[in-house]
Structure 1
Amino acid sequence: MYYVYVLQCADKTLYTGYTDDLQKRIKVHNRGKGAKYTRARLPVTLVYYEEAETKSMALSREYRIKKMTRRQKETLISAQMN
Structure 2
Amino acid sequence: MAHVYILECSDGSLYVGSTRHLELRLEQHRVGRGSAYTKCRLPVRLRWTYEFEHVGAAFAFEKQVQNWSRAKRIALIEGRLADLPALARSKSS
> Aligning the two structures, in what range does the TM-score lie when normalised by the shorter sequence?
over 0.9
Alpha-carbon distance, 1:11 to partner: 0.5
Question: Aligned Cα RMSD in Å?
Answer: 1.0
1:55 maps to which residue?
55
The AA in structure 2 aligned to 1:15 is Y
1:64 maps to which residue?
64
1:46 maps to which residue?
46
1:9 maps to which residue?
9
Deviation per CA, 1:25-78: give whole Å up to 9, x if none. Answer: 111001111110000000100000101111110110001110110000000000
Whole-angstrom distance in 2 between the partners of 1:22 and 1:45: 13
Alpha-carbon distance, 1:13 to partner: 0.3
User: Where do 5+ consecutive residues of structure 2 fail to align?
Assistant: 81-93
The AA in structure 1 aligned to 2:10 is A
Larger radius of gyration: 2
Q: In percent, how many aligned pairs have the same letter?
A: 36
Kindly indicate whether structure 1 or structure 2 has the higher relative contact order, using CA contacts under 8 Å at least 6 residues apart: 1
The AA in structure 2 aligned to 1:40 is C
The AA in structure 1 aligned to 2:31 is R
Runs of 4+, deviation exceeding 4 Å: none
Whole-angstrom distance in 2 between the partners of 1:61 and 1:67: 10
User: Where do 5+ consecutive residues of structure 1 fail to align?
Assistant: none
